[in-house]
Amino acid sequence: MEPGVTGYRVYYATAHGGEEHGMQVGNQTTAVLRGLAPSTTYSIHVTAYNIFGLESPPSDRVVLHTEPENFRIKLDELGVNLTIDGKSGESYDLLESEDLQTWRKLKTLHNLTGTCHFFRPVDVDEHPRRFYRLEPKGETFPVWMAMAGRSNPLADDNGDGISNLVTYGTGADLLSSPREARLETNLAQAWVSGELSRIVTVSYTLRENLSGVIPILECSTDLQTWEDAREFTIVLSTTSNGNGTHTVTTRLPHSPGQSPSRVCFYRLRFQLETPPAPPQSFWNWMAAWNRIDPYTDDDGYGLNNILTYASGADLTSGPRGALLSLDTAMFTVGGVRSRYRVFNYDLREHLTELTPVFQTSTDLETWHDAHDSTVEISSFSNGDGTRSIYVREAAPASGSPDPRRFYRLHFPLDIGGTTE
């Protein structure tokens, strides 16, 4: 505890302007916040007070997104089934551990319907004990794109002069006017390392709980060559705006690496967190990984080489998470609200030499193309070289003529002009 400080108070409120609550923690440097609502984003800051009860200015705010209301785990002879009930539009990192010390990420789960599932094959004899936890990511960029019905990060789908990537990064969709998300600069003098120096303060707006994109502040002296200015940046303050965004104010030298008398320009650029994998045909992929037989399981994941390539399982942290999953959700079709079966699967982006065919069967013997009996409802990039596809049945689940129906993804392989 700092000299003169008697204790601390913790203040928290929902990030979108909810009622602020305060909690006095005395001289403790850790505190537990109880009664937080599930699947909710909170803004938290701390103040210190002295013996007279006078409080310091608030600390920088920390944004916390709480876990979903229900996280269910079921074990059967095939493995572990995990079900997460939360809010539509949320994403979570699913982590696994055998000792509660070392955690490894399996997959980022995207919840578009309110419930999402994950299957993890586990050899119970080999691994008698496993632990799982979720790290909420809020509304990630891929999920925001899907929920907004957008597909190209660089497109301007609503015609406001701002690309989808910048709209999400700055939280422009949460503001009364997208132009409120502009970057502002001011020139000032301040004491730096004992010397009176000419500095630039740069302020810009970011979405709170930003996930999936990285903001990069850049500078240039000629508007042609841009360099990363983050190494020169000192963050002066981060202030919540109460609408899901916060304003960041940074301090920079007037012209990093240049004469202070020269003009310097600044811009804010957003970069996808995980660059997409470069396109690669199936046979080139096989050759690069020194594989011969398309139908063997060279990784030991339970997926043959065709499925590994087609689903992009080699690009993800949890390869089995790329397999087909089933859920149900309510949709309004033709003015009637009904429950439909919803399917989710991942595909490699820029898939070549393989064509995915979504098939259905009632007896696991005869399979038919399910194209005419299903409707694609969403498709978005995961930012890792894979794309998530969401498909629903054309008919409501309650009105299905076949009470028992099976689905699968089939990838016919093109070999010398013929199909296997």
pLDDT at 215: 92
The answer to whether 356 and 411 are in contact (CB under 8 A) is yes
Please give the structure tokens belonging to residue 71.
């996280």
The CATH number of domain 7-65, selected from 3.90.1150.10, 2.60.40.10, 2.40.128.690, 3.20.20.210: 2.60.40.10
Domain map of the chain by residue range?
7-65, 71-138, 164-272, 290-419
Residue 307's SS3 state is helix
Whole-angstrom Cα distance, residue 130 to residue 122? 9
Neighbour tally for 409: CB within 10 Å = 20
Judged by phi (left if over 0) then psi (alpha if -120 to 50, else beta), residue 183 lies in beta
Beta-sheet strands, E only, within 147-226: 184-192, 195-207, 213-220
Residues 6+ apart with CB under 8 A from 376: 389, 390, 391
Fold classification of 164-272 is: Immunoglobulin-like (2.60.40)
The answer to whether 109 and 138 are in contact (CB under 8 A) is no
- Residue identified by tokens 């803004």 is 43
- Strand 336-348: give its sheet, edge to edge: 325-333, 336-348, 386-393, 374-381
Residue 288's SS3 state is helix
Same fold, 7-65 and 164-272: yes
pLDDT at 276: 57
- How far apart are the two ends of the chain, measured CA to CA in Å? 71
- Across the 420 residues of the chain, what is the mean pLDDT of every consecutive 10-residue run? 84 74 87 83 87 86 76 70 77 84 81 72 65 79 77 83 90 82 80 73 87 88 87 80 85 54 78 71 86 86 85 71 73 83 85 86 89 80 76 78 76 57
- Report the alpha-carbon angle 392-397-403, nearest 5: 120
Query: Of 213, 205, 207, 201, whose CA–CA distance to 266 is shortest?
Result: 201
Query: Of 60, 57, 41, whose CA–CA distance to 49 is shortest?
Result: 57
Whole-angstrom Cα distance, residue 342 to residue 317? 24
Whole-angstrom Cα distance, residue 355 to residue 373? 18
CA 316 to chain centre: 14
CA 357 to chain centre: 28
pLDDT at 44: 87
pLDDT at 180: 78
192 forms beta bridges with: 195
Helix locations, 105-226, DSSP H: 141-147, 164-170
- Strand 115-121: give its sheet, edge to edge: 70-75, 79-85, 115-121
Whole-angstrom Cα distance, residue 227 to residue 348? 33
Residues 6+ apart with CB under 8 A from 128: none
